[in-house]
Homo-oligomer: A and B are copies of this chain.
Amino acid sequence: MNELEEGTRLALDFDKLTAVAETGSRVVPVVLQDADDRAVLFIGYANDEALKATLDEGIAVLWSTSRNELWRKGATSGDVLRLVEVRVNCEQNSLLYLVRRSTGGACHTHLPSGESRPTCYYRTLADGTTLRPATD
């Protein structure tokens, strides 16, 4: 079992943003939200190229900050996210991709059934340190 992903202990990775910055990628954070049930799916990162590909191809494209390449969500897993709309915040330092899940799944982790989880936010902080399954 992957304790970080399946466990009940909070162990936040406060080094991720520094690692993203150190790659030198010029990116903004992107919230991915299902346009229909309005579930927040995950946060990704996009550079200019990823945003352009998203608009051109009509699917959620991000910039993989670990592989330093364009990441067409679902290219491997099949969990393609079809683009409905792109929104930008007041200060223009983040994006919101409104999408439709093509398979119902959005997370790289899996349910016991083997299907991709519908969102990456499947755990709730029960107290300061303990995680439990979210109820929706």
Contact = CB atoms under 8 A, between A and B. Distances in A.
A90 B133 CA distance: 12
Number of copies: 2
Which of A15, A31, A42, A107 has the most C-beta atoms of chain B within 10 angstroms of its own C-beta? A31
Interface string A35-64: 001111011010110011001000000000
A113 to B, nearest CB: 17
Interface residues of A, number: 58
A122 B86 CA distance: 11
Interface of A: 4-5, 10-18, 20-22, 26-29, 31, 33, 37-40, 42-43, 45, 47-48, 51-52, 55, 85-96, 107-109, 117, 120-125, 127-128, 131, 134
